[in-house]
Amino acid sequence: MPSMLDAGETAQDDLRGGRTPWGGGALPPRKNHLTESFKTEVLVVGGGITGSLAAQHLVARGVDVTVIDNEQPGLGSTAASTAMLQWEIDRTLGELTEFYGFDQAVTIYRHSIAAVRGLHDLVGTLGLSCAFRPRSTLYLAAGDVGPAALRDEHLLRERAGLPGMLLDHAELLSRTGIDRAAAIASPGSADADPLLLSWGLMQDASMRGARLVDAMVTAYHDAPGSVTVETDSPFVIEARHVILATGYVMPDFVRAEIHKTSSTWAIATVPQAQQKLWPGGELIWEASDNYHYARTTQDGRIIIGGGDDDTVDPDERDAKTTVRTAQLVDTLAGLWPAADRQVDFAWSGAFGQTEDGLPLIGPVVGMPRIFAAYGYGGNGITFSYMASRILAEL
C-alpha cells in the first residue's frame, strides 16, 4: 500500500472529504491568470496555510513574492484542519529526550511555544478576523498512559521550565468536570478558524504586493543561479528560490522515507448552550499514540477528532466517514456526557507524520534553491509558522 499521495494525480478533493465549519461565507483570495513569463525572487507553490504564512512573512520583509496554485487557496488540507494551535508536540518531552537528548528536546518545545506566541502577535498586529482565541490545553491520561506516566512527563517539563500543572483525578473533575485519572493542564496554546486565518494572511500578502497566480506547476529546473518552473500554460516563472508549500502532496524528488501520509476524521456538533461546554474551553487531547482530540468553537460547537489510521486512498478514507462519525459521537459521549451530540459537520482529511513527530523543513537534497516544508503531524499550523520563519532566514 502506498504511504504517499501521488503529486501528479492528487486534487484538493483528494485531501479532504465531507463538510467542515470553516470560512463563515467569506470568499477566497482572488487569483490572476498567468498571461506571461516573468521573474520573481521567491515562488511559493501552494496557497494553503503554509504558503500564506510564508508569502506574508517574506513580502513583509520586502521580498518579491509570487504564490502559484491551480486550485482555490486553502481548500485542501487547510480546510480540513481542526486548528488546535498547540505548542505541545505529538511526541512528549520525554520521548523527544530519548530521540535527541534533554537539551535539544527542550529547545524544540521552546521553539513551539514561541511559534504559538508569534501567531498570536501576528493575528493581532494584522487585525485578522479569524476567530483566534488563546487557549489552555488538557493532556488526558488515556490507554496505557496513566497518572504515573503523566507525573514523569510533568516533572520533566518542570525541569525544563515549561508551563503547566499536574491535575489528579479529583482536581481534574473539580476544575473541568472531565472524569479521567489525571491530566497535565498547560497555558499558551490557541485555536482559530484555519480557513479565515489562511485567507487573511494571503490577502495581507497580496495588499503588500505579492502576486497570486492561477496555474499548475509541471516541472522544476534547478540551475546554479535560479529555478525555472514550467506550468500548464505556455509560460514559465524564473525564481531565485522556490518554497514547496504543497502540504501532503510533494513532488517525487522531495519524498523522504521517514515521512508517511495517514488519515484522520472529525465532527462538529450543533452549537451548544453554554452550560453544555466544559467551563474552560481548553483544547483536549489524549496521552496515547492514536489519540482523540477536542475543542470548542466561537459559536459554541464541539469539535472532536481522531480514529487515525494509515489509509492513503481518498475513496477508501471517505468511505469510512460514516463509521468514524458514529465512533466519534460515542467518544464524545464518554468524554463529555453533557454535550448535545447532534452532528452538523463531519469530515476526513489527509495528514503527514514522521517518526519523531517533527516537521521536515529545509532545502531539498541536491536542489539548494528549492525548499520544502511538510510532515506536520498534529501541529500543522504551529509548524507552518515555524517553517515560514526558518525558510525566510535560509
Confidence at residue 11, expressed as pLDDT on a 0 to 100 scale? 61
The DSSP annotation for 201-224 comes to HHHHHHHTT-EEEE--EEEEEE-S
148 in a domain, yes or no? yes
233 in a domain, yes or no? no
CATH number of the CATH domain containing 320: 3.30.9.10
Between CA 44 and CA 51 the distance in angstroms is 6
Residue 174's domain spans which residues?
Answer: 133-187+260-354
152 in a domain, yes or no? yes
pTM of the predicted model as reported, rounded to 2 decimal places: 0.94
333's CB contacts (< 8 A; 6+ apart) are 339, 341
Closest CA to 237 of 10, 7, 35: 35
363 in a domain, yes or no? no
The amino acid that residue 80 corresponds to is: A
Between CA 230 and CA 47 the distance in angstroms is 18
3-class DSSP state of 38:
strand
Helix intervals (H) in 26-130: 49-60, 77-80, 93-100, 102-126
Do 307 and 324 touch, CB atoms closer than 8 A? Answer: yes
Radius of gyration of the chain (CA): 21
Do 120 and 190 touch, CB atoms closer than 8 A? Answer: yes
Rounded (10°) angle between helices 93-100 and 102-126 = 120
Q: How many other C-beta atoms can be found within 10 angstroms of the C-beta atom of residue 338?
A: 12
* 96-120 pLDDT per residue, tens: 999 999 999 999 999 999 999 999 9
282 in a domain, yes or no? yes
Q: How many domains does the chain contain in total? A: 1
97 in a domain, yes or no? no
* 279-289 pLDDT per residue, tens: 999 999 999 87
Strands 38-45 and 360-364: unpaired
The amino acid that residue 275 corresponds to is: Q
Do 160 and 109 touch, CB atoms closer than 8 A? Answer: yes
Confidence at residue 3, expressed as pLDDT on a 0 to 100 scale? 44
218's CB contacts (< 8 A; 6+ apart) are 230, 231, 232
254 in a domain, yes or no? no
Closest CA to 3 of 261, 367, 221: 261
Q: Which parts of the chain sit beneath pLDDT 50?
A: 1-6
Between CA 82 and CA 355 the distance in angstroms is 22
The DSSP annotation for 101-166 comes to -HHHHHHHHHHHHHHHHHHHHHHHHHT--S--EEEEEEEEEBTTB-HHHHHHHHHHHHHHT---EE
To which residue does cell 483570495 refer? 29
298 in a domain, yes or no? yes
Confidence at residue 10, expressed as pLDDT on a 0 to 100 scale? 54
Do 370 and 339 touch, CB atoms closer than 8 A? Answer: no
